[in-house]
Chain A
């Protein structure tokens, strides 16, 4: 599955940051930005919403906590009460380590799984990169062309103002 994109290549971090912000403010739809390394401030320049993965982590952790407490209270106080060291069957301090561990386990595994699912990462995935040099010394900005009236001249002009090296129309896999 691929789509036609307008791709502008830049030689510097400042260029791509400025151009990304400018095209977004001009109303263009950004497909993605490809950089050789993580560029600080790019999330904000692309206008990305805060990640929702923190909520996945929070609720999965809370679920793990509930499961751990329910399991321990049910097994040790309800289903099969055992006298351990003369302590009450329902002894909260004894349940804390397992509750803590299951909170971390559920939270951690679910967060990783959610990340893989959402970004469609799976085993034996082929390398989808088609843009040259973006893992080396080029910063590429890909704009969506299809689906609405795309003003190529205007996009060229904005990118030129931020020191674009070259522009191109390419098929980028989604």
Chain B
């Protein structure tokens, strides 16, 4: 195999400049908005940081799932999720920055508000600033550690082709998936659900986990297809795309299942303390976005990816994955924005610029990680199986 096919060349200067401009513009608009409307600014950062952090986490979840199931097919694409996982430190940093905006985002962080509110007083043992920050540090630290270990073991295997690296990652994956289910539930409840501290949903953790896996798998498909179109990853064929499509399809259905489970139970029981969440989101301009969320995250992938050729066509899978990634933004935006907003729907300028800024940072970091290492994990014992994958 030619060296040029294994290594990604440096990014073209034009693309790089555009991305840097997007990052700078994102920071500038965020800074200006911070003085005019701090809540809008912090909301936009929460959406953008959570979006790209969960894509990096989705990539790590993909690695852990394929390790624990001893999947062979994924060996030819695994450098893609490994590169995506390198965004985790930056995503964690951005998430920690949110602590500076805690008073703008989280109503429960004001002691005087809590003192006059019986419900918040009862929840103060959990929802208080020091414990909140502590939990944030712990969960981010655990994810960083595991993400780093998975990639390190895999890269070391390139040099010595030793099987024990794979065995170690399988063991890590078992522990990680167990820990991740708990820690990510904590993250979803803390960072998103506590935006409306009176409201609660016991399925909120798994709802976010479904979204995370959907966004993660769709972005692995997008990056893989873009690399393939540029002439890299020559070993990835329609059989591997088929599997990526199946995972994206499955997670889309899983997400919809959890979406309706949360909505239907609240709609059915019709309790005022639960229905507030949906009442706010089905009023005014939010209503269109609320229903469109289900269309783009479930109806579109379900219809387009259901037939076998739909998953095996590169162009088709790319289009659907991009639609899902747009839907993922909408999903997170709908959890965050209506909580503190007095507006009746719509996406603000700062939401777009912050999202593009963090997104540009994500692309720069992931590109750098992809270019620094061989795109083919030469030492992976599953590589041969991955190369001969057929279905």
| B-binding residues in A (CB < 8 A) | 40-41, 50, 54, 58, 85-87, 93-94, 96-97
Contacts and interface: CB of A to CB of B under 8 A. Distances in A.
Given A40-B388, A41-B390, A85-B270, A54 B264 contact: no
Interface residues of B, number: 12
B315 interface: no
B288 interface: no
16 contacts: A40-B388, A40-B390, A40-B391, A50-B308, A54-B307, A54-B308, A58-B306, A85-B268, A86-B270, A93-B260, A93-B263, A93-B264, A93-B268, A96-B260, A96-B264, A97-B264
B291 to A, nearest CB: 12
B388 to A, nearest CB: 7
B267 interface: yes
Contacts of A85: 268, 270
Contacts of A54: 307-308
Nearest to B257: A100
A93 B308 CA distance: 30
Nearest to B266: A93
A93 B388 contact: no
A21 to B, nearest CB: 14
Interface string B307-336: 110000000000000000000000000000
A9 to B, nearest CB: 24
B243 to A, nearest CB: 14
Contacts of A41: 390
A125 B165 CA distance: 49
A41 B388 CA distance: 10
B119 to A, nearest CB: 25
* Closest 5 pairs (CB-CB, A-B): A40-B390, A93-B264, A93-B267, A41-B390, A96-B260
A40 B390 CA distance: 6
Interface string B263-300: 11001101000000000000000000000000000000
A54 B310 CA distance: 14
A94 B268 contact: yes
Contacts of A87: 270
Contacts of A40: 388, 390-391
A50 B391 CA distance: 12
A54 B264 CA distance: 30
Nearest to B307: A54
A97 B263 CA distance: 12
Contacts of B391: 40
Nearest to B309: A50
A87 B306 CA distance: 34
Contacts of A50: 308
Contacts of B260: 93, 96
Contacts of B268: 85, 93-94
Nearest to A40: B390
